[in-house]
């Protein structure tokens, strides 16, 4: 039997603290006018000092399990997309397994930066091919503000924190979505374009101040150029290989990094602007959580009715990029 990968409704969790552009203008040399005109971002959410990405992931996971009518003991796998783990080890997935009271599930994190949701869809589909009975809790959990250099105005205005969760399985349930296709790609030759520090290459001694390599760094202009080209091409590719055109897509959900990138990709693909979902103004770039946050909001707003086809696309550090077709 062919495995069908189905997603239960996605639940999102963002921190309560909101940082507006005006707040940022008090700590770095920027302005609301510059940020809005160059990025479309007006505010973003920031973790409290005593919260971590796993706390957001746990709250989203509890809601996703409730929504799917499942007990944590019924899960077979927990996988988490993140480029901002609480610690290098243990994984957020194991922290979630402990917090939820899961059984002896296979639990691991992976890092595909902002393409994490799409890479995760490809992973869960592969798990379901191996095990049709699998029930996978798929979480995206990010704490980008923990790696922002607040004196670097070219990056600190762009990112925010957030998490999402859903259950993926082969079982058909009301309100779920079917993964129709997914493509995940990368170009490792461009791995220096965006880096998020704090790994083992940051060799600090106890008590020593961290250096600039601890923080997120990005060549914004180059990233922008590659992002527009890669997302446009991969969307055209996935549509073509499924015999579809942009007019067959009811909702286009691009990675929420920058409104100008979203508009450039939408225009190149000939997307009707009324069918392009954006919430970058509220959350900024939440990396792997960006597309699922958008999908959760779109569902709450009634923009993904049963039968609706969604095209999602993302790019991120690595460079990684991809596209997926989902049918609700
Ligand atoms: N406020 C005010 N001025 C600023 C700011 C700021 N926050 N940031 C940069 N500037 C200045 C620059 O210093 C520069 O000034 P100069 O001309 O005097 O040197 C000027 O504005 C223009 O800078 P650019 O970098 O050319 O601005 P651009 O229009 O390219 O916008 C941006 C920058 C928003 C970063 C854009 O390039 C972008 O969005 N790139 C893509 C980033 C992205 O989406 N990354 C996602 C992947 S992240 C991941 O995977 C974890």
pLDDT in tens, 46-78: 999 999 999 999 999 999 999 999 999 999 999
pLDDT digits (tens, 9 = 90+) for 92-127: 999 999 999 999 999 999 999 999 999 999 999 999
**Ligand 1 pocket, Cβ-based, cut-off 6 angstroms:** 30, 34-35, 38-39, 113-114, 153-154, 157, 194, 218, 220-221, 223-224, 227, 257-258, 261, 285, 287, 316-317
Q: How far is CA 145 from the centre of its chain?
A: 15
Q: How confident is the model at residue 324 (pLDDT cuts 50, 70, 90)?
A: very high
CA–CA separation, 249 vs 193, rounded Å? 31
- pLDDT for position 165: 98
Residues annotated catalytic, as ranges: 114, 255, 285
Domain 179-198+212-327: CATH class, spelled out: alpha beta
- pLDDT at site 203: 87
2 pLDDT band (50/70/90 cuts)?
Answer: low
pLDDT of residue 231: 98
Q: How many other C-beta atoms can be found within 10 angstroms of the C-beta atom of residue 316?
A: 29
Query: Cβ(283)–Cβ(293) under 8 Å?
Result: yes
Statement: the pTM of the whole predicted model exceeds 0.75: yes
Strand runs labelled E in 144-191 = 161-169, 177-186
Local structure of 241: helix, strand or coil? helix
State the SS3 of 71-88: CHHHCCEEEEECCCCCCC
CA of 260 to the centre of ligand 1 (A): 12
Q: Which atom of ligand 1 is nearest to the CA of 24?
A: 7
The tokens describing 275, both together, are: 């069918």
**Residue 220 CA to ligand 1 centre (angstroms):** 5
Sketch the domain layout of the chain as residue ranges.
6-173, 179-198+212-327
302: alpha, beta or left? (left if phi > 0; alpha if psi -120 to 50): left
Rg (CA), the chain: 19
* pLDDT at position 173: 83
Same fold for the domain at 6-173 and the one at 179-198+212-327?
A: yes
Residue 172 alpha carbon to ligand 1 centre in Å: 44
CATH class of 6-173: alpha beta
Q: Name the residue among 10, 15, 79, 22 with its Cα closest to residue 48.
A: 15
1 pLDDT exceeds 70? no
The Cα 299–Cα 320 span in angstroms is 27
Long-range contacts of residues 302-309, Cβ cutoff 8 Å, at least 24 apart: 303/251, 303/277, 304/177, 304/250, 304/251, 304/328, 308/250, 308/251, 309/180, 309/244, 309/248, 309/249, 309/250, 309/251
């Amino acid at each position: 039997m062919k495995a069908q990968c189905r997603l239960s409704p996605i639940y999102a969790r963002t921190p309560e603290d909101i940082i507006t552009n005006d707040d940022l203008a008090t700590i770095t040399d920027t302005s609301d006018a510059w940020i809005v005109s160059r990025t479309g971002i007006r505010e973003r959410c920031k973790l409290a000092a005593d919260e971590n990405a796993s706390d957001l992931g746990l709250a989203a996971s509890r809601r996703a399990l409730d929504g799917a009518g499942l007990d944590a003991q019924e899960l077979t796998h927990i996988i988490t997309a993140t480029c901002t783990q609480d610690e290098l080890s243990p994984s957020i997935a194991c922290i979630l397994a402990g917090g939820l009271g899961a059984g002896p599930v296979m639990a691991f994190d992976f890092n595909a930066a902002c393409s994490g949701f799409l890479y995760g869809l490809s992973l869960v589909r592969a798990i379901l091919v191996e095990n049709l009975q699998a029930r996978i809790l798929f979480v995206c959990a990010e704490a980008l503000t923990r790696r922002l250099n607040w004196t670097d105005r070219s990056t600190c205005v762009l990112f925010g924190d957030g998490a999402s969760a859903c259950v993926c399985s082969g079982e058909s349930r009301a309100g779920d979505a079917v993964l129709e296709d997914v493509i995940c790609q990368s170009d490792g030759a461009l791995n220096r374009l965006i880096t998020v520090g704090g790994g083992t290459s940051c060799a600090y001694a106890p008590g020593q101040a961290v250096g600039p390599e601890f923080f997120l760094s990005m060549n914004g202009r180059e990233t922008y150029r590659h992002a527009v080209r890669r997302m446009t091409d991969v969307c055209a590719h996935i549509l073509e290989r499924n015999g579809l055109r942009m007019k067959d897509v009811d909702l286009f959900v691009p990675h929420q990094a920058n409104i100008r990138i979203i508009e450039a990709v939408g225009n190149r693909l000939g997307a009707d602007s009324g069918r392009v979902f954006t919430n970058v103004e509220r959350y900024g770039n939440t990396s792997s959580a960006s597309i699922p946050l958008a999908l959760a909001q779109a569902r709450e707003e009634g923009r993904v009715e049963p039968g609706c086809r969604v095209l999602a696309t993302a790019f991120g550090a690595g460079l990684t990029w991809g596209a997926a077709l989902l049918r609700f």
